[in-house]
Chain A
Amino acid sequence: MCVQVVLAYGAESDKDLGIPGESLSGIYSAREFVWWYNGHPDYSCLKPDLKTSDSAVILGQGNVALDVARILLRPTTELASTDIATHALSALKESSIRKVYLIGRRGPVQAALTAKELREVLGIKNLHIRIKQTDLSVTPADEEEMKTSRARKRIYELLSKAAAAAKTSKADPDQRELHFVFFRQPDQFLESDERKGHVSGVNLQKTILESVGTGKQIAVGTGEFEDLNCSMVLKAIGYKSVPVNGLPFDHKKGVVPNVKGRVVSHTSGDISQTEPGLYVCGWLKRGPVGIIATNLYCAEETVGSISEDIEEGVWKSSKAGSKGLMQLLEKRKVKKVEFSGWEKIDAKEKQMGIERNKPREKLVTWEDLLAAAAN
């Protein structure tokens, strides 16, 4: 029998900063926060601290950072008609967070966010955008980057326009603020005196940019530091894949080593020995970056390898395949949910959503999910 396995389980873990204070309470990865408000059953009890102060710091300036900033700053009346988890909506209604700081090591020209997502955040009602005029000055190296990337140029223009518009609007005490903080990298987290074990701020080091050839600029610390107070930190600095027992894994890059999607079992010198019948695709193959089109081409490459291998009859597997998998699950008494179970959960969530004027009301505990699937 012919068995192929394609690993496409993405990147479910987070990169760490590896700086002091990272384990203080009140510091979460953005992914945990997203899973909390999206109703992931493992995170419905996260209870992020939204009431201790008016400030939250987000480390990173990619689209995930913008996502979580948007959830913290959008009027809850608007969020009420989305499929946000009910426990998150209740917590956000009582949130005292009014200022969100998006911190990036480099400048507006290097920010990882993209235009569509930036527009959405800039369009939030009654949101005051704050960008330092000095952060918007560009160097020749920045100009060069903008010349080679239309995306960066347009993002820089959007941020400049937002900064200019902000100057003309009046301050309002209850208004929410989004600060884009550039050229700062986190050095350590500060612990609260009143509340031991909880974060009270971030110590940031000012940076400047240095060219490293090929048009790229990196951030370098200047030795100047400043503190930024906050009661919650969200780290949005990138995802990481989770290794699996027995699976070849490159811990440095956080991916499964492969050649055109064929999993590499070991490498000696220039020759890579690949694992017959085992393939990898998506973020697990390339790292947690890319858009739909990137994944499309990545999939084409892996499928191309599978096709080639089938045609050349490269391997004849004696593995038991899905039948063997079912037997193993039964032997280990693992509960499984079939696609029909997923459809029942989907129907139930949509039904509950109708009753509450939302696209769906998510089931957020494993018990409820399994009960709905078995119905």
Chain B
Amino acid sequence: MLGHRISRFGSTIVKQLAREGYISTYGRRNLQRSYGHYLPSLPVVPRQARTSQEAWFLKSHKFCTSSTTSSENGDEETEKITIIFVDKDGEEIPVKVPIGMSVLEAAHENDIDLEGACEASLACSTCHVIVMDTEYYNKLEEPTDEENDMLDLAFGLTETSRLGCQVIARPELDGVRLAIPSATRNFAVDGFVPKPH
């Protein structure tokens, strides 16, 4: 979702430029549209349209094979668990995640700042999350060699690190807290300090 990120950065700059009067409102909309033009698969959708975005998201994005299972079950009846994202500033954001959805998808659904540059193809480490409780970490299946190869390169790697695109919501993970690492400063939230690997 690099395009989404670029769009948002671009939007911030564009909004500031518009505020300064450097470009007209027409120009601003034009600029925002051109991001969409260059990244046709990632339209910028306003926050309010969350439900329809969710449905569209599940249908047209193949972030992991289990996404098709959740859309087959129907949106209302799918069992959901709570995942708590802890962002770089220590803020806790609980979200409801349907069983079968990956952590990366769940983050994007809820506008959580988790990058997924390679779109879940195990070719990067940008969706790196830290499982804050060892108890929950042990409930996860062992990472594959491919996941470990990418985790090797993640910033701030810890003993309970995983790639968000590979962690799938299951009933036993209800209440799991996942920290999004910051690259630029040592991470500590509520006294939690990741053990260096």
Residues of A within 8 A of B (CB): 1-2, 114-116, 119, 148, 150-151, 154, 291-293, 296-297, 300, 303, 306-307, 310-311, 313
Query: A307 contacts B13, CB within 8 Å?
Result: yes
The answer to the question of B44 belonging to the interface, with a C-beta cut-off of 8 Å to chain A, is no
Query: In the complex, how many residues of chain B place their beta carbon closer than 8 angstroms to a beta carbon of chain A?
Result: 30
| Interface pairs A-B: 8 shortest CB-CB | A151-B152, A115-B149, A116-B149, A292-B124, A297-B183, A2-B22, A292-B117, A293-B126
**Residues of chain A lying within 8 A (CB to CB) of residue B118:** 292
Contact B115 A150 (CB under 8 A): no
B28 to chain A, nearest CB (A): 13
Q: Is the CB of B125 within 8 A of A293?
A: yes
Supplied contacts A297-B184, A310-B13, 8 more A-B pairs, CB within 8 Å: A2-B17, A115-B149, A150-B157, A151-B153, A154-B148, A293-B128, A303-B9, A307-B13
With A303-B9, A307-B13 already in contact, the answer to whether A114 and B149 are too (CB < 8 A) is yes
**Complex contacts, B16 vs chain A, CB 8 Å:** 307, 310-311
The docked-state distance in angstroms from the alpha carbon of A293 to that of B155 is 8
Could you tell me if A291 and B125 are in contact, using CB atoms closer than 8 angstroms? yes
**Residue B172 at the A interface, CB < 8 A?**
no
- A116: nearest chain-B partner, CB-CB: B149
Q: A2 — which chain B residues lie within 8 A by C-beta?
A: 17, 20, 22
CA gap between A297 and B148 in the complex, in Å: 22
Q: How far is the CA of A310 from the CA of B21 in the complex (A)?
A: 12
**Min C-beta distance of B25 to chain A, whole Å:** 16
In the complex, A285→B53 CA distance in Å?
38
**B20 & A150 in contact (Cβ 8 Å cutoff):** no
Residues of A within 8 A of B17 (CB): 2, 310
Q: Kindly state whether residue B154 has any CB partner on chain A within 8 Å.
A: yes
CB pair A115 B152 closer than 8 Å: yes
Whether A291 and B153, one on each chain, are in contact in the complex, defined by CB atoms closer than 8 angstroms, is: yes
List residues of chain A with CB within 8 A of the CB of B152: 114-115, 150-151, 154
Q: How distant is the Cα of A240 from the Cα of B13 in the complex, in angstroms? A: 31
